[in-house]
Amino acid sequence: MKKMKVIALTALITIPITLMADMDRCVSCHGVDFEKKALGVSKVVKNMSEQEIKTALDGYKKGLGGVMKALMIKEVNLGVDTDAMAADVYSESRTKGFEEPTDEFIFQKRLSVRTLHKLKMNIKKANPKKDMKKIVSQIKSIAFTMYTYDNLLKEKINFKTIKASKQKLTMANILKSVKSVKTCIDHSFSENEIVKCRTEFLNLAGTITRNEERKIKKKQKANKPPIYTGADSVDMTKYLK
């Protein structure tokens, strides 16, 4: 009885692991999308039909194949079901993966994640009442850098359309937002994906800026007569006491 339990348990643990590892092993010889001639010898599996793949795998099971059949005989003799494997290989080879990101992209992504990580730590340490100004200034400066170096972002973002949020931006809300942008960038594999995360961050910075503008306007209104601050304006403050 005890032995049965142990066997059942080992089966439970080992079966999913071998099934998962299968496809990962093929990649080293056949390529990520089965697009290579394995070791310069095999057919390009990506160009084979599901039936052809199954026939080849069944062949290896019976000990048949080409000059390097020994390698594949080892693979299929791990107890695989050739029907399921042929279906998996076929669908894997026809499913488009993402383009491998460039080194430059990965470097830029790491830089962004690091910056946002530091910001996150600063917000966590910050005193919600006293340090708001400091955090706000950090957010604006990071947003400025993001905007300056990302041309795609410049195309997507229009500051004029960013509206001040009705609800009050608390330190907790800001932290939530920064965390979400950081995770978003960390999980991105292309410029197009990253730009979506950065848009979220610029919206946060934009909301902060609009809120500040609103406060300044309110103050100006209170200081009647209205102060003209445009071109050629004269500093009226000394007459306003």
Does position 65 interact with ligand HEC (CB under 6 A)? The reply is yes
Does position 175 interact with ligand HEC (CB under 6 A)? The reply is no
CB nearer to ligand HEC: pick between 89 and 175? 89
CB nearer to ligand HEC: pick between 59 and 101? 59
Does position 57 interact with ligand HEC (CB under 6 A)? The reply is yes
Give the one residue of 16, 66, 128, 226 binding ligand HEC; rule: CB under 6 A: 66
HEC assignment per residue over 175-205:
HHHHHHHHHHHHCCCCHHHHHHHHHHHHHHH
Terminal-residue alpha carbon distance, the chain: 94
Sign of the alpha-carbon torsion through 52, 57, 61, 66:
positive
- Residues in a beta bridge with 37: 44
What distance in Å separates the CA atoms of residue 58 and residue 61, rounded to the nearest whole number? 5
Does position 58 interact with ligand HEC (CB under 6 A)? The reply is no
CB nearer to ligand HEC: pick between 18 and 229? 18
What distance in Å separates the CA atoms of residue 38 and residue 160, rounded to the nearest whole number? 55
Does position 4 interact with ligand HEC (CB under 6 A)? The reply is no
Positions that interact with ligand HEC (CB under 6 A) = 22, 25-26, 28-30, 38-39, 41-43, 45, 53, 56-57, 65-69, 71-72, 75, 85, 89
